Structure 1
Amino acid sequence: MNAGLDALKAALDRQRAHVVGILEGLTEEDLRRPVLPSGWSCLALLRHLTLDVELFWFSGVIAGDADVAGQLRAGSAPHWYVPEGMSTGEVFAGYQAAITRADAVLATAGPEQEPAAWPVKIWPTWRLPDVRHILIHVLTEVACHSGHLDAVRELMDGTTWLGGDPYAAQ
């Protein structure tokens, strides 16, 4: 990976670990249980991070994979749910696979590289200019959602995320 992205990628990796870490130890029932009035569950948020964050931004926007971008954003149903019959293991495996795919895209990207595709139909007047800005956007979104998961987990069973030194070498 380009040295200009290393610190951002390391911070993103810490947030990804936070997302998975705060969910550890929850039962199947708790992972699927909506806690907030909006109705999303922890598992549904993980699916959102998989599809609308990891796959969409890295494979769809940075790499320009038209199939990914088209499937995920063009009039498709919201990804804040887990399809009936999809197991918890499949949702977690999907998240890890999406991270692996995203990391492969980042490994060949430069900080000033322009996105290969942009969803103009969704955001006709807004655009992130390069990989660095996209990575900052993704890092912010994942950090925000890890905070949501922190709050929900604490409401469920009192567990808080004390993952150690967030700046320790990974």
Structure 2
Amino acid sequence: MDEKSMLLMYLRAQRAVVLAVLDGLGEAALKTPVLPSGWTPLGMVEHLGYAERYWFQEVVTGTADPVGWPDDDHAPLTTPRAPEVVFAFYRNQCARSDEVVAATPLDTPCHTRAPELPEAEVGDLRGVVLHMIEETARHAGQLDVVRELIDGRTGLGPR
């Protein structure tokens, strides 16, 4: 397996964990903050969709289609949108990210400098993919803990 395929395999696995951990939760559970910081499971999925959009479209290619709603209509890591809208947004952004990866060599420099992280970490597509594996895994772990607090279920997901 080549490097790009391996990186995508790990990123897709973490994305699948995010979706599997939340599978079966109703809208009330998805929109209820469980931790004192106030974020909701559905808000985290929307955040991950925005992260996919930002890193692969804005940072790597320099362009991104606008989203269909205002960015300031909710508190951070929450969302007023319905679960089906948020999950569709996340899946769409992941598919768009995969298209960028398929069409771009791993050593392609980023179009836009991401001020959040040192350029040495995310200066090319390879760094962006690695960053998204890390970010998605971190949030998948947070969602796993929240799911356990909601209904006691653990060990969900393909990994």
Q: TM-score w.r.t. structure 2 length? A: 0.87
Distance in 2 (alpha carbons) for counterparts of 1:144 and 1:95? 16
What aligned pairs does 1:101-120 form with structure 2 within 5 A after superposition?
A: 101-119=96-114
Equivalent residue number for residue 60 of structure 1: 58
* Correspondences of 1:127-166 after superposition (within 5 Å): 127=119, 128-164=122-158, 166=159
The answer to whether the Cα contact below 8 Å between 1:8 and 1:135 also exists between their aligned partners in 2 is yes
Paired residue type of 1:27:
G
Q: Which amino acid aligns with 1:110?
A: P
Q: Deviations over 1:111-148 (max 9, x none)?
A: 111001124xx44x822221111111110000000000
**1:24 alignment counterpart:** 23
Match of 1:126 among 98, 118, 122: 118
TM-score by length of 1: 0.82
Provide the residue aligned with 1:45 in structure 2: 44
**Does residue 3 of structure 2 align to residue 4 of structure 1?**
yes
Alignment partners' CA distance in 1, 2:63 and 2:136: 21
Q: Distance between the aligned counterparts of 1:33 and 1:163, measured in 2?
A: 21
* SS of residue in 2 equivalent to 1:40: coil
Same amino acid, percent of matched pairs: 36
Tell me the distance in 2 between the aligned counterparts of 1:4 and 1:110: 11
Any unmatched runs of 5+ in structure 2? none
Q: Flag as ranges the 4+ runs of structure 1 deviating above 2 A.
A: 76-79, 161-164
Aligned 8 A contact 2:31 2:78 in 1: no
Name the Cα RMSD after superposition: 2.1
Equivalenced residue count is 152
**Cα separation, 2, equivalents of 1:50 and 1:88:** 13
Which amino acid in the other structure matches residue 21 of structure 1? Answer: A
Q: Tell me, yes or no, if the aligned pair for 1:47 and 1:79 is still in contact at 8 Å.
A: no
